[in-house]
Every structure is written in C-alpha cells, then in structure tokens.
Structure 1
Amino acid sequence: MQTALSRLVTDPESFRDAWPSVPTVYDRDRADLQQLATREAAREILADPDIRPGGFGMVRDGVLTAERPSADHPTDTLVLNGLHRSYPPIMEFCKELSSMLGHPVTGNFYLTPAGKAQGFGWHWDCHHVFIAQTEGAKDWRLFAPTFVNPLEHHNWSKIGFSPEEKLRFATDTPDFEVTLRAGQVLFIPRGWVHAGQSTEEHSLHITFGVQLLTKHWALRKLWELGEDSEVLRDALPPNLGGAGLHQVGRRTGRAVPWLAGRSADRYGRSAAPFGATSLGARPGTQVERTGIAQHGAATDNRGSAPPNVPVVRLPAIREPPGSRHG
C-alpha cells in the first residue's frame, strides 16, 4: 500500500530507522508527484480566495520583489508558503507524512522560471527537507554543514558565513551536486549549505520541511512539565556550597521515577502540522526569515487535543521563507 513516505523515498521502513546523514536522491513517480503540484495548480491557488497560503510573493536572488504573484513570471520565483494549512492535497499529504515520521511537516511550492534563475542564495535550514521535483529541473549544489545540528534560533542569516566559506562556495567543487528532474526527490539533512538554480526549463518543486523535535526540545519539555511534579518542586538540601551538578544529581534520585513515567505519546511526541505567516517584508528587502506558525500540540486526527491529555506547545519554530528552497 502506497503511503506519503513511500511516495518520497524508495525504502520507507529503512528511512524510519534513521535519518540519512548526507543528501540523498530518490527516483519516484513523476505522475504521482504531479498530483500534488503543477503549474496549473499554482495558478488555481493564486486565483481561489478560499485557498489562503500562509505567505506568498515573488523572489529574485534572495530579494522580495514588488511583482504581482504569478505562476508565469519570466524572471522571479513564485513562493507559496504554508500550503499544509490551506491546500487540501498538501494538507492531507503533510498530515500523513507527519504521522509516519513523528515530527511536524510543512509544505510549500516554489516555481522558478527557465534560464538559470535563482530564488535564494547560499543558506542552511534548521530542519530536514524533502524537495519533490514535479515539473522541469533544478541544479542543486551542496556543502557539508558549517554549523552542525542547528536549532530553530541558529538561523544562517544570524550566524552567517566567513569570507573563506563564501570563497569556497564560489570556487570549490561542491560536496554534493545534482540536477533534480521531475519525478525525483532530494532529501537534505538540516545544516547542509545549499543553493538551487533553474536550467533551460522552468522548475516547480514542493518543499516538505520536517520541523524536527530534538533531544534539546525533549529536555525543554521535561523542564516545563517538571512544574507539575511535587517531587521536582521540592527544595534541594542545605549545604550545597561548591557541589557540582553530578553531586546535586545524586541528591535528586527521587526524580528518576517521575522521569520514567513521562510518556512521549502523552506529552507531545506527535504534533499537528502548523501553519505560516506571510512573507512579511517590503519589496526590495533581503528576505531572511519568515515566521512559520508554532502552535502544534498533541492532537487527535481532527486536529484538537484528545481528552485527558495535557497539551504541550511546541517551542517557537521559524524558518526562512519557504525553507528558502527557491
């Protein structure tokens, strides 16, 4: 039986065992992927007032332009963000993919005209990405991470690249490169530096962003949930002067049973896909970040919290517009 994950990767069960550590290309079914995104679908999204993308606009070389959003622009990339909240085919796909992976998933469209056009320059993402090419082709060049395992606030635009890194990106052979063609899917692990450019034909792809729940996130959730524990609200003993954390830990052994009883299923391992805000920048400004809604919670299939289950809010998760995969 076909699933959302099997539509993207060749061996979904192995994929679920561990995230790929390097960029990986999967040959999938072009006609199947085009059920999710075509240029005509992009036109319909722009024309239908009932479909409200979380953010949309035209981008060229990393700059938001004043051009009217169009699926047929000769130079600018059309960005349609947040379709996991508004466009039924992507809503259903992201919901199923999120359920299979156990992490929230977002979905965006990128339509770039032919002629070596580029929406965004060198950047990394703070989440894993599937790039599903549905029409045309795009050249991708990737370098190994300059910042390993970035969290949500480790945005590339804040940390930046050194002059030496910029020179390397411009002159060295990439660590990975591919011309992604319709029917292929490129998985990019978070942190990998990358940039894409269209070929002599236009390019349309869907970016599925896997908004990762990390070990850091789990520790933060445990810390927040600890407020409800009588054991953890207990004071540490006197005479702690000079004690190291390992010594303090030995004196909090009663907390271990509490930690053992915290179920990931009960306290928010799964999270509903969350939405996006608009591009939120004036034309002519450098596009760096777009807020992606961060209101996921432990949910049932209808998107609401099941009875008797504490609602655990995800921490703020942000990403550049459309995962910056233009």
Structure 2
Amino acid sequence: MTIEVPGGHRPALARIVKIEQDKFAAAHWGRAPLLCRAADPAGFTDLLSPDAVDELLSRRGLRTPFLRVAQEGKVLPAARFTGSGGAGAEISDQVVDEEAMRLYAGGATLVLQGLHRIWPPLIDYARELGAELRRPLQVNAYLTPPASQGFSTHYDTHDVFVLQVDGTKRWRIHEPVLADPLEKQPWGGRADEVGATAQGEPALDVVLEPGDALYLPRGWLHSAQAQGARSLHLTFGVRALTRYAIVEELLAMAAQDARLRATLPFGLDVGEPDAIEPELTETVEALRDWLAGTAPAEVAERLAARDWPSARPEPVAPLRQLDFADALGPADTITVRGGLRWRIAEDGADQVVLRLTGRTLRFPAYCAAALRQALGGEPTRVGDLLLDDDADRLVLARRLLREALVVPA
C-alpha cells in the first residue's frame, strides 16, 4: 500500500509549487520547468541555514560521500578535504573542516549530499514531499562562493526541485538534447551536444532569490552561477519510474515462455539481416502472444519490489519504541509509521500475509481487519482494535511496535 494523502491535501508540495497542483501535474510534471517566486520572507531556512551548514561541516563527523567538492566543473578528490577521525574513530575519510573551508574560500562549491538521511528538518520534509509525490527523494545542498560556478552545463536523469535558501544564483536553462533520459543515459555521453546547445539562447534565464523554487524535469540542460554573494540552495532529486521500467520487468517475466527461450537455428549468421529476419518475426509474434496474457498484478508486484526499497519510512526511536511496547495498555494510541509501504494478502483460510519492503510477516486470518485498521493512516486506540478481547489486541499491537510498523501516536 502506498501512502494516501488525506483529502488530496498536499502541504509539502504546495509550499514549493505555487500553482494549482492539477495544473502543475498536467502542464509541468515531467514536461516543462516551473519557477515559483517566494511567498514567505523566511524562505527555506527552517530546512537548512548557513548556521546549519557550519554545524554539519564542523560538528557532525561527516564522511564521504556526504560531502563532495567541485571547482571549475570538476569534482575534487576526497583526499583533498578528508582525513583521520582521530582517537576512537578508526576511519580515514572524515571531513576536515578547515580543509573544506580553504577550498570554499578558494572558489570551490561544497555539495552536502544525502541530507534526507542526516539533517532532521530535511529528513521530515523529504519524507512528506516524497509521500505526496509517491516517489523516493534525495536531497543535496550546494554552497557556492560569490560569482562562482561549481558545474558546467549538464542535465540530470531525475527531476529536481531547486529551493534557494541564501544569496542569489543565476540559472540558465536550455531544452533537452535527449528527452526523458534514463539513468543509464547520463549527459556525459552527449557532452558535445550539451555544449553546443548551451551556447544558444536559453529557454529560461532567471536569478533565484531566497524563498524561490524552481522545478526542472529530467533532461533539461542547466547551469547555475552565484551572483554578488555566496549562494546556498537545496536540490530535491525525484527518481523517475518510467514506462521503460515496465518494459524491463515484462522482459524479465518473458523468460517463463518456452518459445522465447528457444535456441536459434544451428549455424545461423546473426550478422546477416536476411538470415535473422524469420527468427525476428517469430520472436516478435511469440512476445506479442505472451504479452497479451500478462496479468497487471504480477507486473505491479515486480514494480513494487523495484520501487519500494528506494524510500525509507520515518525514523523510529528504538528505546522509546520498546519502552512504549513494554508498558502498552488498551488506552494507548498507535499509528502507522510514516512512509511505510505494505500490502495484505490472504494465505489460505488460516493466515494473512503482510508484504513489506524486503520482508514478509504472517498473522492469523482473524487479525486482517485489525491490521488494516492499525496501518490505515489514522491514530488508533489499542483498545479499539478490531479483535475480540484486549489480550489479543495487546499481543498484536506489541508485535506491530516491535516490528517497527506502528509508532506511538
């Protein structure tokens, strides 16, 4: 089960997309850039601020790859800004704050990567935004010195939301040289086309100020340069799930068909078009016949196995969770863990199967209604679970807590 947004209300997305979301979905999502000017003077400093960047670089013990440094279009070796963690930390790739400072002062851009895993405000916001988009997110921050540019014109193979936090940055955006590129089609393979297109008139040439947000679909060329002061912006990368992913799963499933597993004729010259033509025709017919009987449920199962592990549910506090489970009573309230992906299926007359990311749990069949209730998204009083008595309710609730499927409400 993917996360439902009650009543279609999407507060995380509405914060950065200032047009009606139906219009955004129809006219911009995966199609065209969108610039939204700041509506809140505070901007996005609650998510990340210059002070937060200082803390991350100096006090959080960051290791690679949580920091990347770029200068004049090139990524610098990690050895330039990492070193020993010191006594008690047997690692050699911890960020050295003074080295990061020297590189930044010399014109390098500092890229804080994976902030959706290490900075609490972004952990929460990225989870909320990902739930509304139904897509996994990655969050990076780019700290660029005045009048500097960390990366040359390029495109990404994922959509991005750019949130300007501090300072100003000029963005030059050009139309794609390859529409909707897949992850295995990075811009480096088309560097000449990208460079030539970047010399032309941009489709969009804008300066982002604090609180502004910019949406770019994958494939759109872009470069960005800080203006008169340093620039700090966040980039939310939205991983695409494409029709090609369906094709890949269908091809994997096609291995079940004996006609498609058949050996090609003895001595066939596969480099000769006339020789391969009848085999190609028969293969296409066999594939068409097999696809006609493909069940959507099996495709959905495979896509879920591919997609679900890409996004983590909300963090769980282990000690609080276990203490709550030990002291649990009928008057206590639980709620599903935010971002949890699940699906319930019957397994004979006596059991139901709860399918999760990377694991499967089994429960007595009479627990099915209570499971759906506990995982349905609304806080639930333990004493109100749809079971016959409090003893069964407590057993189920404690198991759900210890399996980290629900949390204290």
TM-score normalised by the chain length of structure 1: 0.73
Q: Structure 1 residues 253, 95: CA separation in 2 closer, same or farther (over 3 Å shift)?
A: closer
Which of 95, 118, 136 aligns to 2:149? It is 118
Which of 114, 121, 126 aligns to 1:82? It is 114
Residue 216 of structure 1, CA deviation? 0.9
Which of 49, 56, 60 aligns to 1:45? It is 56
Counterparts of 1:95 and 1:272, CA distance in 2: 12
Structure 2 unaligned segments of length 5 or more: list them: 1-8, 82-98, 265-277, 313-335, 344-352, 359-409
Bigger CA radius of gyration: 2
Residue 3 of structure 1, CA deviation? 2.0
2:135 is equivalent to residue 103 of structure 1: yes
Decide whether the 8 Å contact of 1:7 with 1:33 is kept in 2: no
Decide whether the 8 Å contact of 2:169 with 2:231 is kept in 1: yes
Counterparts of 1:38 and 1:134, CA distance in 2: 7
Which of 162, 181, 195 aligns to 1:166? It is 195
Counterparts of 2:127 and 2:307, CA distance in 1: 14
Q: Percent of aligned positions with the same letter in both sequences? A: 28
Counterparts of 2:145 and 2:112, CA distance in 1: 15
Counterparts of 1:268 and 1:57, CA distance in 2: 28
Decide whether the 8 Å contact of 1:54 with 1:83 is kept in 2: no
SS of alignment partner, residue 182 of structure 1: coil
Decide whether the 8 Å contact of 1:53 with 1:82 is kept in 2: no
Counterparts of 2:291 and 2:209, CA distance in 1: 56
Counterparts of 2:20 and 2:44, CA distance in 1: 16
Counterparts of 2:341 and 2:288, CA distance in 1: 40
SS of alignment partner, residue 118 of structure 1: coil
SS of alignment partner, residue 100 of structure 2: coil
Higher RCO structure (Cα 8 Å, ≥6 apart): 1
Q: Structure 1 residues 214, 99: CA separation in 2 closer, same or farther (over 3 Å shift)?
A: same
2:296 is equivalent to residue 259 of structure 1: yes
Q: Which has the higher helix share?
A: 2
Counterparts of 1:234 and 1:300, CA distance in 2: 40
Which of 7, 12, 34 aligns to 1:4? It is 12
Question: Structure 2 counterpart of 1:118, which letter?
Answer: Q
Question: Structure 2 counterpart of 1:236, which letter?
Answer: R
Indicate the residue corresponding to 2:100 in structure 1. 69
Counterparts of 2:129 and 2:232, CA distance in 1: 20
Listed as ranges, the matches of 1:22-33 within 5 Å are 22-28=32-38, 29-33=40-44
Decide whether the 8 Å contact of 2:16 with 2:36 is kept in 1: yes
Query: Which moved further from structure 2: 207-216 or 73-82?
Result: 73-82
Counterparts of 2:108 and 2:284, CA distance in 1: 56
Counterparts of 1:128 and 1:302, CA distance in 2: 20
Which of 230, 234, 240 aligns to 1:206? It is 234
- Summarize deviations over 1:74-110 as a string: whole Å, max 9, x none: 5221110111111111111111111111111100010
Query: Which moved further from structure 2: 21-30 or 302-311?
Result: 302-311
TM-score normalised by the chain length of structure 2: 0.60
Residue 304 of structure 1, CA deviation? 7.9
Counterparts of 1:77 and 1:187, CA distance in 2: 21
- Summarize deviations over 1:155-181 as a string: whole Å, max 9, x none: 11233224xx534523x3212110111
RMSD: 3.4
Query: Which moved further from structure 2: 135-144 or 56-65?
Result: 56-65
2:76 is equivalent to residue 57 of structure 1: no
Question: Structure 1 counterpart of 2:34, which letter?
Answer: T
SS of alignment partner, residue 219 of structure 1: helix
Which of 286, 292, 295 aligns to 1:248? It is 286
SS of alignment partner, residue 142 of structure 2: strand
Query: Which moved further from structure 2: 7-16 or 265-274?
Result: 265-274
Question: Structure 1 counterpart of 2:31, which letter?
Answer: S
Q: Structure 1 residues 234, 185: CA separation in 2 closer, same or farther (over 3 Å shift)?
A: same
Counterparts of 1:253 and 1:152, CA distance in 2: 25
